[in-house]
Structure 1
């Protein structure tokens, strides 16, 4: 399992404090992929730009797609630009992949048999490993989860991240999520103002 898949499983856990927006999660998943590529030596980060190494073919299909999408032309791509480009609809791609692999299961919420369906992590070795990683407060997973509003119990000044490139990626993910939230709030204000105009005095 990759960090991105572990993050998706943690975000899908049906707890009240884990309601995560799909846009936020997509950005964090793109960041998780980049961190795994850093860990594999497939990329480095220099001056907030993603510098690719030798072409690689990760065992994981989605991570392989991420590696194949790296820009290999100078001045190379900014981490922020990568998040927005790679992150487009990425949560949907991970949901489909994990559901297809049996890592997620659909359950009906409420007591009625025709209630709305929701996805939950299935009881599989991979899902248990993701849960163990979370319970151990693994720094990378905890930091990425924090960017989308899932509280790991760590304080902001004890992230536990020791790699500068990883720290940079997490910081850029956080900024991108904040930017997305600002866009949402602006649209809400604009829509409210527009509705007030139509309603009149």
Structure 2
């Protein structure tokens, strides 16, 4: 299992009173993929740019898709650009892939998005691994989950497990992208309210 898969499993297991927005989760999953691919030596992050390595199979379908999607011409792509491009609809892709490989399943007759028609774990080993990382407060998973709106607080960025400029850079980019998304969403709410008021004569 990958960090991205673990994050998706944690999101699916979030309590009903803590909703997970697909946009924030998609950005966090795109960041998790970068970190997974750093670990697989499929890319490096240099000066906030994603520098691709050899295009070798990772053993995971979605990570292989991510490797194939890397920009391989200089000046390469920034982490932020990657998050927005790769993140589009990524939460749904992970939910579907976890079901496809038999890690989760949906109740019969209910096929919807992330929260409604909630998926249920099937593969106990995969689910336990994600739960163990989550329960242990593993810093990278905790940081990504917090960016997606799961968990109360961001972990301490000075923790030894987060040492390394590449990891710090990716997590910071995820946090910035999530804040930007939330800002855009809030502006739309205000603009829609103002438009409604105009039509009501206010």
Normalised to the residue count of structure 1, the TM-score between the two structures is: 0.89
Q: Are the structure 2 counterparts of residues 154 and 23 from structure 1 closer, same or farther at C-alpha, using a change threshold of 3 Å?
A: closer
SS in 2 for 1:125: helix
Unaligned segments of structure 2, at least 5 residues: 109-115
Corresponding residue for residue 95 of structure 1? 95
The CA deviation at 1:153 is: 6.0
> CA offset at residue 35 of structure 1?
0.2
Q: Secondary structure at the match of 1:132?
A: helix
Match of residue 112 from structure 1: none
TM-score by structure 2 length? 0.89
Q: Contact 2:139/2:155 (CA < 8 Å) preserved in 1?
A: no
Q: Which moved more, 1:121-130 or 1:182-191?
A: 121-130
Match for residue 168 of structure 1? 169
Aligned to 1:186: 187
Does the C-alpha gap of structure 1 residues 85 and 102 become closer, same or farther in structure 2, counting only changes over 3 Å?
Answer: same
Pick closer, same or farther for the CA change 1:94–1:162 going to 2, 3 Å.
Answer: same
Report the equivalent of 2:118. 118
The verdict on how the C-alpha distance between 1:17 and 1:133 changes in structure 2, with shifts beyond 3 A counting, is farther
Q: Which runs of 4+ in 1 moved over 6 A?
A: none
Q: How does 1:1-201 map to 2 (within 5 A)?
A: 1-16=1-16, 18-107=18-107, 117-122=117-122, 124-151=124-151, 155-156=155-156, 158-159=158-159, 160-201=161-202
Root-mean-square deviation (Å): 1.9
